[in-house]
Amino acid sequence: MSITVTYDNNAYEQGLETAWGFSAFIAGTEKTILFDTGGGRSLLDNMEKLAIEPDRIDVVVLSHIHGDHTGGLSSFLEKNSNVTVYLPVSFPRKFKDTVRDHGAGIIEVEESLQICENVYSTGQLGRLIKEQSLIIRTGKGLVVITGCAHPGIVSVVNTAKDLIKDDILLVMGGFHLERASKGRIEKIISAFKQLGVRCVGPCHCSGHKARSLFEKHFGSSYINIGAGKVITLADLQ
C-alpha cells in the first residue's frame, strides 16, 4: 500500500502546486482511492506531474462539504466519471445531482461501512460540520486519514479504534488545530500516546505550531507531509 499526497497547502516535492486544501491517492488496496479532491484544478496538474492517471482511480471518498476538499471533483470527473463517490449523506442534493450528471455513482454515507477489502469509512461524524474519515487496515495496524477532523481528531481516532479492533499505526491529514493553543495541542498529543498511535502526519489545517509539537513528541515517528509526499508501509515502524 502507498499513499501519495496529491494536494496540500504544505510543500514537499519541488515543482508541485500548493494551495489550501487536501487530497491523497491510495494505491495497493483492493480498489484505488482518491480521498478528497483539494480546492481546484491544481489536483489534476499535480496528479499529472506525479504520473497518476485519473482512470486508475476506482473510488473517490469525500470527507466533508468544504470547497478545499471537494473543489477538484468536477474537473476530475471530466477525466474519469467511471468511479463511485462516497460522500456524507448530509451533502446538499444539488451537489449529489452534479456528481450524478457527470455519470459517476454515489454512495451516501451515514453509518460506518466497508468501502473495499480492509478499507472503511468511519461513517458521518460530528454535529455542525458532518465529516467522514478513512480507515485502512494493514498488517502493521490501522492507518487513519482525515480531511479536516472537524468532529475532533481524538474522537476520530477513538471511533476508528472502536470500529476496527486493532492498533493505530498512522494518523495523517488535517487535524484542524491551526488556531489551537499549545496546551490543547499537547493534550491531544497525550491522548494519541494513550491510544497507542505510533506514527503521525499532520498537514493541511493542522497548523505550524501543531506540526512542530507533534514532531517534537513523536521524533522519528513524525512524518513530514506536503504535496507530493509518498508514504509506504515500509516507512512506518
* CATH code of the domain covering residue 119: 3.60.15.10
Residue 80's domain spans which residues?
Answer: 2-232
The reported pLDDT for the residue numbered 104 is 98
Is residue 15, in this structure, part of any structural domain at all?
yes
- CA 28/CA 196 separation, integer angstroms: 25
Tell me: pLDDT of 197 over 90: yes
Is residue 237, in this structure, part of any structural domain at all?
no
Is residue 155, in this structure, part of any structural domain at all?
yes
Residue 40 binned pLDDT confidence (cut-offs 50, 70, 90): confident
Is residue 63, in this structure, part of any structural domain at all?
yes
Residue 99 binned pLDDT confidence (cut-offs 50, 70, 90): very high
The Cα-based distances of 73 to 85, 106, 127, 166, 173 in angstroms read 10, 13, 24, 32, 18
From 235, 228, 222, 147, select the one nearest 192 (Cα to Cα): 222
Which position has the grid cell 458521518?
A: 124
The reported pLDDT for the residue numbered 148 is 98
The Cα-based distances of 126 to 64, 130, 143, 156 in angstroms read 11, 5, 20, 9
Number of domains in the chain: 1
Global pTM exceeds 0.75 = yes
The reported pLDDT for the residue numbered 38 is 98
Residue 237 binned pLDDT confidence (cut-offs 50, 70, 90): confident
HSE at residue 49, side-chain half, CA atoms within 13 A, is: 17
Is residue 114, in this structure, part of any structural domain at all?
yes
Residues of the chain above pLDDT 90, percent? 98
The reported pLDDT for the residue numbered 41 is 83
